[in-house]
Amino acid sequence: MSEARFDISLPLPYEAKWREAYRSEKDDSPRLSSYQAPDGEPIPFIYKNLDFSGGQSVDTAEYPFFGLWSNETLNKKAQSITVHGYLRGEYYIQQRLDFLDALTVSTSDDSPGFFDHPLWGRFKVVLESYNIQEAANENGQCEISLTFKRAGVSLDKRIQALDFNELIKPEETALVAVEIFSEIDADAHFMSNGFGILKKKLLEITGSLQMPQNMLNSVLNEITGITNLISQGIQVPMQFAQALINTGFAIVSAVLSVGEAMQSIGKYFSGKNNKKDAALKFLSAYNWTLPLQASTVRQYNTQKAIENLYRIVSLCVSAKILSEMEEESRERMDGFLKLYDKLETSVNLENPDIYQAVMEMRTSLSVKIRQSSLARELSKRIETPIPILLLSHYLGCDEYQLRRMNDIENSFLISGEVTYV
């Protein structure tokens, strides 16, 4: 069975007949319910009642169709078990202490506890909460309440089991956005004006980056494609959307190519700053709105569609860049991912196709980052000697940390293999 999916069927019961499951014959000791902490001993208790719940996570949309609603099943809900019972007996106090010791042991998918019930069988569980009630007029016993989630498979194991090549990539998500935008009933004049503003936005982003003339010309050619559509009076939404996506990924290609080229010849800083600057420019699209005044419902719908398209394209472009930023420190990457979450939240995901594509793209980005060198010490070979202060700035690692992790003498120029975090 794949580690990414697991069997949620109930465990086998001890017996099919309830009396036999309880071992209620007088010659047998009765089978009690119990809880066992990881690497611990089972602590029995007297069973009172049990609640077992599960179901599906459902996204219900009540608009845009008046009087109707739609339900989209997203996933299965985690199965939950709440059990009530008693601790009771001559050595009740010691039993209660042992029980509390077991409950304070941390549980997880990789290190679950075990809940054993005569009629239900033995469950692997993660303890969510517990409660103990003791009354002065009921000496020698207390009432307990335990809430569990059934143990699943840890996120790390599920991600490791995923095939990165089978997940939706940013380019594929962008194509889904093109298909959705192509179906809108656009106001042609308003759409042309809107993409004219987007063209200026993309020129602004391109102008803030450092790249050789040939790469700059390649990006400008894609931007010119938007200009040509406007000047020719094209009224097909798909062509505008495709031109926008082509420009976005042309910028990405140039940024990533510059980073590799600059590093190979020793000009370290332009490539890295290009990635960071481009990512920040596109990640800031979460609060971008088209500065046009819509006068009709059709214009309003066109405006919202353009804004959402730009945010989706920005999300795709950002995902592509972030997946290649292996040189960034964990702290800085966390900052980028917070902005990514903010941008993703601003995207209208009512369409189930774009919802699925965006969610899979997020998973793909998570897998890529986890598989990168962010989780361990990094190393880079510096071909051309550079000052340690500039190296510290480029790697995002403190100068004194570099000296502690590497055999660096008092020289100011550093070259060769450098380890950093």
Rounded average pLDDT per 10-residue block, the chain, 421 residues: 63 86 73 92 93 90 77 87 94 93 93 94 95 91 95 78 67 92 93 94 89 87 92 92 93 79 43 76 93 93 94 94 76 86 93 89 80 58 78 74 68 72 62
Same domain? For 344 and 399 the reply is no
Question: Which two tokens mark 155?
Answer: 């996120």
pLDDT of 25 reads 64
User: Residues 382, 371: one domain?
Assistant: no
What was the pLDDT predicted at 148? 96
CA pseudo-torsion sign 401, 405, 411, 414? negative
Which helix (DSSP H) or strand (DSSP E) does residue 419 occupy? strand 413-420
For residues 110 and 48, state if they share a domain.
yes
What backbone torsions phi and psi does residue 141 show, to the nearest 5 degrees?
Answer: -160, 165
Rounded distance between C-alpha atoms, residue 302 and residue 290, angstroms? 10
Kind and range of the H or E element at 5? none
Which of 234, 237, 121 is CA-nearest to residue 178?
237
Q: What is the CA 91 to chain-centroid distance, rounded? A: 49
Neighbours of 16 (CB within 10 A): 7
The domain boundary, picked from 357, 375, 393, lies at 375
CB-based contacts of 402: which residues, under 8 Å, 6+ apart?
Answer: 388, 391, 392, 395, 408, 414, 418, 420
Rounded-to-10 torsion of CA 262, 268, 273, 275: 50
The pLDDT, as a whole number, for residue 165 is 61
Confirm whether 278 is domain-assigned: yes
Q: Which of 225, 246, 240, 235 is nearest to 181 (CA)?
A: 240
Q: Provide the domain limits for residue 409.
A: 378-420
| pTM confidence score | 0.58
66: helix, strand or coil: coil
Q: Are residues 272 and 176 in the same domain?
A: yes
What is d(CA 193, CA 185) in angstroms, rounded to the nearest whole number?
16
Q: Which of 110, 127, 160 is the last residue of a domain?
A: 160
- Single-letter code of the amino acid located at 126: V
Both 155 and 241 in one domain: the answer is no
Q: Which residues contact 64 (CB under 8 A, 6 or more apart)?
A: none
How many structural domains compose the chain? 3
Judge whether 123 and 148 are in contact, CB under 8 Å.
yes
- Residue-level pLDDT at 264: 43
CATH number of residue 395's parent domain: 3.10.350
The confidence score (pLDDT) of residue 316 equals 94
